Amino acid sequence: DAGITQSPRYKITETGRQVTLMCHQTWSHSYMFWYRQDLGHGLRLIYYSAAADITDKGEVPDGYVVSRSKTENFPLTLESATRSQTSVYFCASSDMAYLVWYNEQFFGPGTRLTVL
């Protein structure tokens, strides 16, 4: 399927466990992003990547790890999940035009994560 997909769509885990959320895009977009959405905080950027092997922190990176060995994949790992990481996680991607900042971000359907 074309576009941006996330898996799993729903995940329940326990405190202290490692969890990896997957994100895959078929557009070959340069930029990829991870956001979390929480009531009262809106959408906040966790990490982003400008290209394969290039990642950078966003607003709320603590407790998360990312990697990007291939352009199309951008997994997000919670190394030791905590209850405060219960949230809905969205992956997004954006192309890189000659005017790099001008392009839309397109979002995946989200992963609802519950940490017990």
Partner 1 sequence: KQEVTQIPAALSVPEGENLVLNCSFTDSAIYNLQWFRQDPGKGLTSLLLIQSSQREQTSGRLNASLDKSSGRSTLYIAASQPGDSATYLCAVRAAGNKLTFGGGTRVLVKP
Q: Which residues bind partner 1 (CB under 8 A)?
A: 31, 33, 42-45, 48, 50, 56, 58, 90, 92, 94, 100-110
- Minimal distance in Å, beta carbon 37 to partner 1? 9
Pick 20 or 112: Cβ nearer partner 1? 112
Cis peptide before 8 (omega within 30 of 0): yes
User: Strand, helix or coil at 100?
Assistant: helix
Report how far apart the first and last C-alpha atoms of the chain are (Å, whole number).
33
- Minimal distance in Å, beta carbon 53 to partner 1? 17
